[in-house]
């Protein structure tokens, strides 16, 4: 969760913000909360939810006596039982908001998808307000059968501005890929497309780890202009983006696309998951030249030749004076819409509406 909070708030957030373990006197409260949730769990939740329930019960026990001091409780995440634990411990009438960051726990299931949606709906029934991080993910939830109360909102994730000077195109080089190296992120498609951009062609730096890391390692070791950075921290990721001209992450699915916004903050153009990219373009009301730096790629398309052309065209436009001017204008809009100040104001507005509705 640390990526979703500003540097000034880097202390542990949510139910972890006070202490890691409960004191002996708080274990009683944890057991009471746990008993309530286990009774609910027996009615239809999954085995893994039992472990979430036990963990959340002890965590919430640490802050149970403090809950009455707040006007609103904001829980991040729906699949860890924290929302249920907080609602079980909070005084009656205290408004509780939950942010849903992703439905990946449901989308990528081979079976029991309907059962998982039923569990989600049961948990959401106790929330006073529901926040999604994108309209794309909100729409996905509705298609899955998730029931949303009248008080639901979309508040994008906040991203910190670049801590370094944004480099001009003359000091940048090639492409980068940042993300988990698994099939749905399609790094194999990116590697294939890069090969079609000539030999040796532009460089590609890949940051991440996962089952398809071997494909990146093979390309790196075979002499292709590919560098595997491995699993690195966020500051290193931002540096990789700062040195690249274009970030290419044509995922099959994204809930928000935080990595896209981070890349734009660092001055790199982006090719990515079409629904989220299109939402960004609409949200920021981009000019046509700016849209050439934020390029959608269809999640159902496996055409490496098409991706190669998009990569080449985007790289060429980013590496010219017109593209530089368009990027400067685009970055200003990104800061305005996704920087911490704007997101904090939107979140404050949500709190005020939910608290006002509960009075």
The answer to whether the CB of 248 falls within 8 A of the CB of 176 is yes
**Class of domain 2-158+340-358 (CATH, top level):** alpha beta
pLDDT of residue 47: 60
pLDDT of residue 208: 92
pLDDT at position 14 is: 40
Task: Report d(CA 324, CA 168) in Å as an integer.
Answer: 7
pLDDT for res 153? 95
What integer pLDDT is reported at residue 281 of this predicted model?
96
What Rg value do the Cα atoms of the chain yield, rounded? 22
DSSP structure string for 174-228: SEEEES--SGGG-HHHHHHHHHTT-SS-S-EEEE--STTHHHHHHHHHTTSSEEE
- Give the integer Cα–Cα distance in Å for 43 and 36: 12
Which residues make Cβ contacts (< 8 Å) with residue 37, sequence separation at least 6?
Answer: 53, 56, 57, 81, 84, 85, 88
**E strand map for 59-141:** 73-76, 96-100, 129-132
Q: How many CB atoms lie within 10 A of CB 259?
A: 24
Q: How far is CA 352 from the centre of its chain?
A: 25
Per DSSP, the chain holds a count of helices (H) and strands (E) of: 15, 10
The strands making up 226-230's β-sheet, listed across from edge to edge, are: 226-230, 204-207, 175-178, 246-249, 269-273, 294-297
Q: Is it true that the peptide bond before 3 is cis, omega within 30 degrees of 0?
A: no
pLDDT value at residue 167: 92
The 10s digit of each residue's pLDDT in 94-117 is: 898 999 998 888 888 777 888 888
Q: How far apart are CA 286 and CA 328, in angstroms?
A: 12
* 2-158+340-358 and 169-338: identical CATH topology: yes
Residue ranges of domains in the chain: 2-158+340-358, 169-338
Is residue 13 exposed (0-12), middle (13-18) or buried (19+ Cβ within 10 Å)?
middle
Q: Per-residue confidence of the chain (359 residues) as pLDDT tens digits? A: 233 233 333 333 344 444 455 566 655 555 655 565 555 554 556 666 666 666 666 667 767 777 888 888 888 887 766 777 777 777 888 898 999 998 888 888 777 888 888 888 888 888 899 999 999 999 999 999 999 876 899 999 988 888 788 999 999 999 999 999 999 999 999 999 999 988 778 999 999 999 999 999 999 999 899 999 999 999 999 999 999 999 999 999 898 899 999 999 999 999 999 999 999 999 999 999 999 999 999 999 999 999 999 999 999 999 999 999 999 999 999 999 999 888 999 999 999 999 887 65
Model-level pTM?
A: 0.84
For residue 168, the surrounding DSSP H or E stretch is none
CATH topology of domain 169-338: Rossmann fold (3.40.50)
Which residue shows structure tokens 């460089």? 203
What are the two backbone dihedrals, phi and then psi, of residue 343, each rounded to the nearest 5 degrees? -70, -40
Q: How far is C-alpha 113 from the geometric centre of its chain's CA atoms? A: 21
- Where would I find the beta strands (DSSP E) of 101-191? 129-132, 152-154, 175-178
Furthest CA-CA distance within the chain: 67
Sheet containing 129-132: give its strands across: 73-76, 96-100, 129-132, 152-154
| CA gap 233, 183 in Å, rounded | 22
Cβ pair 251, 272 in contact under 8 A: yes
How far apart, in whole angstroms, are the C-alpha atoms of residue 348 and residue 157?
Answer: 14
């Amino acid at each position: 969760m640390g990526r979703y909070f500003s540097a000034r708030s880097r202390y542990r957030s949510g139910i972890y913000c006070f202490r890691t373990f409960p004191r002996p006197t708080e274990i009683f409260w944890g057991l009471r909360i746990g008993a309530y949730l286990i009774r609910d769990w027996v009615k239809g939740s999954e085995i893994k939810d039992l472990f979430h329930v036990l963990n959340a019960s002890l965590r919430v026990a640490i802050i149970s006596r403090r809950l009455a001091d707040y006007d609103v409780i904001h829980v991040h995440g729906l699949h860890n039982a924290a929302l249920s634990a907080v609602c079980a411990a909070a005084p009656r009438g205290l408004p509780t908001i939950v942010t849903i960051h992703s439905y990946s726990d449901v989308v990528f299931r081979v079976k029991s998808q309907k059962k998982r949606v039923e569990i989600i709906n049961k948990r959401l029934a106790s929330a006073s307000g529901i926040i999604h991080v994108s309209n794309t993910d909100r729409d996905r939830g509705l298609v899955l059968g998730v029931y949303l109360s009248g008080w639901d909102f979309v508040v994008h994730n906040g991203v910190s501005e670049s801590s370094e000077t944004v480099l001009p195109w003359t000091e940048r080089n090639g492409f980068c890929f940042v993300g988990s190296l698994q099939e749905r992120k399609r790094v194999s498609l990116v590697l294939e497309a890069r090969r079609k951009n000539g030999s040796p062609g532009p460089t590609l730096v890949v940051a991440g780890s996962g089952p398809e890391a071997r494909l990146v390692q093979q390309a790196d070791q075979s002499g292709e202009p590919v560098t595997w950075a491995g699993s690195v921290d966020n500051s290193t990721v931002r540096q990789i983006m700062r040195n690249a001209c274009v970030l290419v992450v044509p995922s099959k699915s994204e809930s928000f696309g935080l990595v896209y916004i981070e890349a734009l903050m660092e001055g790199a153009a982006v090719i990515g998951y079409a629904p989220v990219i299109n939402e960004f373009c609409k949200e920021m009301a981009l000019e046509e030249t700016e849209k050439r730096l934020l390029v959608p790629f269809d999640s159902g398309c496996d055409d490496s030749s098409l991706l190669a052309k998009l990569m080449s065209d985007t790289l060429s436009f980013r590496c010219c004076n017109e593209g530089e001017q368009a990027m400067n204008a685009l970055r200003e809009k990104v800061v305005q819409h996704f920087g911490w100040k704007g997101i904090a104001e939107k979140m404050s507005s949500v709190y005020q509406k939910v608290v006002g509705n509960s009075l």
